Amino acid sequence: MLWKTIVASVRSSPFFISVIVFGVLIDLLFRYLSSLSYKYLIDKALLPRDIEALAIIVGILVAIGLLNVITGISSDYAKARLGAKLLFDYRIALFRHMQAQSHRFYERFQVGDLLARYSDDIPEIQAAVLQALGAGLLSVSSVAIGLGILFTMEWKLTLLAFGGSILLFVPYRMLKSRSLALADTYYVHLGKFNGSVDENMKAYRVIRVFDLRQSMLAKVEGILRTMASVGVKRNFVDANLNRLPLLGVSILTAIILAYGSYLTFDGRLTVGEFIAYNSVFATVGQSMYGIATILPYFLAAKTSLQRLHQVMEWKPEVTERGDKELPTVHSHIELRDVTFAYVPGEPILQHFDLSIPLSGYTSIVGTSGSGKSTVLQLMLRFADPESGAVKYDGQDIREARYASLLGQVGIVFQDSILFHGSIRDNISIGKLDATDEEIEEAARAAGIHETIATFQDGYHTIVRNHGDNLSGGQRQRIALARALLRKPNILFLDEATSALDPDTEQSVNETILSLSRSKTIISVTHRLAYAAMSDRIIVLDKGKVTESGPHEQLLEHNGLYRRMWEKQKGFVLSRGGGSAQVQAERLSGLPFFQGIEQGALDQISRLFVAEKFEAGTTVFEQGDQGDTFYLIARGRVEIVKSSDSGERSRVAVLEDGDHFGEIALMQHIPRTASVVTLTPCLLLSLSYDHFHPLMMNYSSIREALEATLKTRM
Ligand SMILES: Nc1ncnc2c1ncn2[C@@H]1O[C@H](COP(=O)(O)OP(=O)(O)OP(=O)(O)O)[C@@H](O)[C@H]1O
């Protein structure tokens, strides 16, 4: 594998390689002329006291020495350029490969693990290639030439030297597999460490609310300790790989010196020849040592290449197969007999059919986990169905050029990521060559131009840390402007406004509604008050379309949509969205308040207190004493259960109109699960202390509540 990499580098940079090879040749010339010069220096100049011969020999050596310095500098420069090119080529290839991937790839490789491949594996490969082409080439050719010279000078001595040189490679054979295994373990842990740092940065809110700092710290400490201990072993083994050959060289030198001296005493070698022989031998020994010391680079590169290949061999699930341009779509999008699974064998959609006409405003609603976002992702070709097809105006989108599909659509997600850069840069991502006028037009359409104009630096205001210096509404409007900049035929929205506070949500939705007069909008949302404004609503449940039609028609149908609607209605929000009230009629829909007289329900409704929660806040913890019942006026929460071993798992997601904690209205018992907000939430809470006196006055409430709770518990 490494050889292929070296050959590829040689092929791609012939000029730099020529400079390096030329440098190696001059270095070799200098090395051996210097060594051999002893023979002439002693036998022809020093012993006969010939000054002229001495001047010629020294002159030649100085000239070649100078040339060696110049070619050495050029060669270093060529290596620096080649090294930079290698890093660039590998990193860009890996990056390109990553860009083509979809969800399975990102589930298999964690961020930290991938980062380690960019920051550590690729430089290891670079180092090995440079070593091979520099020191490696020099040492191998030096050994070959040196042995040739020695052989012509004194073959018996050379055979002895050659045989003994095996000593130099014994440590390599012995320690090779240990070094490889340690490198492998080290990188696995480096990937885990990078992953933990990434997780800590992204999930710092969750880590704080669950007070996971200590356990996170312990986890990272564990990884770092293993890395430290593996690192010590690895460095020690690699240092021995470097040092032990030196021992071999020393033993060999002693043998050569002893035998060479014997030959000189015997008169079979002149003093000059013996010194020259020794000098050439020292050069050969040094070169052999050079080969032995670069072997650890190859070992490290072998592990790194394997790790890189693991990633590069991962075939993208969504590939550019078609080269047809997708004609401007105007009729409909359909999913025809689609089966799709994230986890093989566990399909989310099975033989799923859906057709959406391309006009006006379509909302896709449904229960949590019913597959709404999945349908949207398939329509955008973030993934391909296992079977069946997604078609735009009858054309399978797999047969179309991906860019021609993306060129016609705009997308806004719930958590639109803004990049570090100016607001202008962030909007122009939608069309890199957009003019200032086009950007302003898109910003106006998204209702953000006036706000940007009030910023001191206007469109050049820097967006920091994914948009932390902007409000949620401003971020979403910038994301909307970015999507609109392409003038898409279809605008897809995936819960684009759900995380915003009610006022902002309303105003962004008004903007979206006005946009639907000029373009097709397909919106996945769980907030039915906004879905009700759309021209048609598609209702999903457990991966199936259960109903579709306009709001009124769906209400009449009296199915899931109506139940969801009933659940979400009956909350009166204050203008700023900071407060809310629940209507008595809405309370009568709750199982434990059913059959309770109107007067009592009115009184109960007045006892609710509105509370606002930021996303990622714990409403209550498992084990806390329960004393409050909650209704979700707005927002999403997750119900999380902790096992005895402390492992937390999500058991449900509740949203607008759902309720939790009703047992607390009857008894103070510990909570059986934790509740954490997933989005900013407005909750209405009813405490036991407020509710209890009322319940005592109305026996019907107590009886109804007791009956319901008995069945629930
Ligand atoms: N990347 C993924 N890997 C594995 N399962 C996934 C993945 N994304 C979604 N799912 C699962 O697929 C199902 C449908 O998810 P999807 O996000 O499409 O539902 P949804 O209706 O949009 O839900 P919600 O309203 O809660 O966002 C869920 O059971 C979800 O757990």
Helices (H), 213-270: 213-265
Report how far apart, in Å, the C-alpha atoms of 93 and of each of 84, 303, 492, 696 are. 14, 18, 31, 72
In the chain, % of residues over pLDDT 70:
96
CATH superfamily of 342-560: P-loop containing nucleotide triphosphate hydrolases (3.40.50.300)
In this predicted structure, what is the pLDDT of residue 210?
58
Distance 383 CA to ligand 1 centre (A): 13
Winning range, highest mean pLDDT, from 162-176, 180-194, 491-505: 180-194
Residue 368 Cβ contacting ligand 1 at under 6 Å: yes
Task: Give the residue among 652, 643, 645 at the shortest CA–CA distance from 675.
Answer: 652
Residue with CA at minimum distance from ligand 1 atom 17:
373
In short, whether 372's Cβ falls inside 6 Å of ligand 1 is: yes
Cross-strand pairs, 573: 580
599 contact partners, CB below 8 Å, separation of at least 6: none
Residue whose token pair is 């996971």: 212
Query: What tokens were used for 172?
Result: 């390599």
pLDDT of residue 391: 95
Instruction: Report pLDDT for 577.
Output: 64
Q: Looking at domain 2-312, does it have CATH number 1.20.1560.10?
A: yes
User: Ligand 1 center to residue 373 CA distance, Å?
Assistant: 7
Atom nearest to 103 CA in ligand 1: 1
Put the strands of the sheet holding 659-660 in their side by side order. Answer: 609-613, 681-687, 628-634, 659-660
Q: Where in the chain is the domain with CATH 3.40.50.300?
A: 342-560
Does the C-beta of 692 come closer than 6 Å to ligand 1? no
* CA-based torsion, 246, 249, 255, 256: positive or negative: negative
3-state SS of 127-166 is HHHHHHHHHHHHHHHHHHHHHHHHHHHCHHHHHHHHHHHH
Residue 267 Rama label (left phi>0; alpha psi -120 to 50; beta): left
CA angle 336, 341, 346 (to 5 degrees): 125
pLDDT (mean) for 28-41: 82
- 636 CA closest ligand 1 atom index: 26
Confidence of residue 209 (pLDDT cuts 50, 70, 90): low
3-state secondary structure string across 411-434? EECCCCCCCCEEHHHHHHCCCCCC
C-alpha 278 to ligand 1 mean position (Å): 75
Model confidence at 101, pLDDT cuts 50, 70, 90, reads confident
Strand bridging mode 361-366 / 536-541: parallel
User: What is the 371 CA–ligand 1 centroid distance (Å)?
Assistant: 6
pLDDT at 634: 87
Segments in 41-50 forming alpha helices (H): none
Report residue 536's pLDDT band, with 50, 70 and 90 as the boundaries. Answer: very high
Q: Is 650 in the pocket of ligand 1 (CB under 6 A)?
A: no
- Ligand 1 neighbourhood includes 374 CB (under 6 angstroms): yes
Vertex 202 angle, CA 197 and 204, to 5°: 90
How many beta carbons lie within 10 A of that of residue 311, not counting itself?
18
Kindly report the CATH number that applies to the domain delimited by 580-712. Answer: 2.60.120.10
Q: What is the DSSP string of 461-475?
A: PEEPGGGTTS-HHHH
Does ligand 1 have an atom closer than 6 angstroms to the CB of 302?
no
**pLDDT band for position 713 (50/70/90)?**
low
Q: Where in the chain is the domain with CATH 1.20.1560.10?
A: 2-312
**Shortest-distance Cα residue to atom 30 of ligand 1:** 369
Q: In whole angstroms, what is the distance from residue 425 CA to residue 552 CA?
A: 43
Residue 206 or 600, more confident: 600
pLDDT at 1 over 60: no
* CA pair distance 245, 268, nearest whole angstrom: 31
Residue 581 banded pLDDT, cuts 50, 70, 90: confident
Evaluate if residue 576 carries a pLDDT over 80.
no
In b/e form, how buried is each residue of 379-410, taking b as 16+ CB within 10 angstroms?
A: bbbebbbeebbbbbeebebbebbbebbebbbb
Phi, psi of 524 (to 5 degrees): -95, 125
Task: For the chain, give percent helix, strand, coil, nearest 5.
Answer: 60, 15, 25
pLDDT tens, position by position, 657-711: 898 888 777 777 788 889 999 888 889 998 888 888 777 777 777 777 777 666 6
List all residues 6 or more positions away from 143 whose beta carbon is below 8 Å from its beta carbon: 284, 287, 288, 291
Query: In this model, does residue 161 exceed pLDDT 80?
Result: no
Name which residue sits closest to atom 10 of ligand 1, judged by CA.
342
Write the pLDDT tens digit of every residue in 605-641.
888 898 888 888 889 988 888 888 899 988 889 999 8
Using alpha carbons, select from 467, 474, 515, 463 the residue that is nearest to residue 492: 515
- The pLDDT tens digits for 325-336 are 888 888 899 999
Q: Which amino acid is at 189?
A: H
Mean pLDDT of the chain: 84
Tokens 């639907």 sit on residue: 516
For residue 374, the CA-to-ligand 1 centroid distance in Å is 7
Query: Would you say 622 and 641 are in contact if contact means Cβ atoms under 8 Å apart?
Result: yes
The predicted model gives 26-41 an average pLDDT of 83
Question: For ligand 1, what atom is nearest to the CA of residue 524?
Answer: 22
Structure tokens at 581: 């009230």
Pocket flag, ligand 1, residue 373 (CB < 6 Å): yes
Nearest CA, atom 5, ligand 1: 342
DSSP state of 492: E
pLDDT digits (tens, 9 = 90+) for 467-486: 778 888 889 889 989 888 98
Average the pLDDT over 415-424 and give the result: 82
> What sign does the dihedral 68-296-159-267 (CA atoms) show?
positive
| pLDDT on residue 207 | 66
At 493, the pLDDT band (50, 70, 90 cuts) reads very high
Q: Is the CB of 102 under 6 A from ligand 1?
A: no
pLDDT band at 206 (very low <50, low <70, confident <90, very high): low
For residue 632, how far is its CA from the centre of ligand 1 (angstroms)? 22
CB of 653 closer than 6 A to ligand 1?
yes
- As annotated, the residues of the chain forming the CATH 2.60.120.10 domain(s) are 580-712
Q: How far is the CA of 324 from the centre of ligand 1 (A)?
A: 31
| Ligand 1 atom at shortest distance from the alpha carbon of 526 | 25
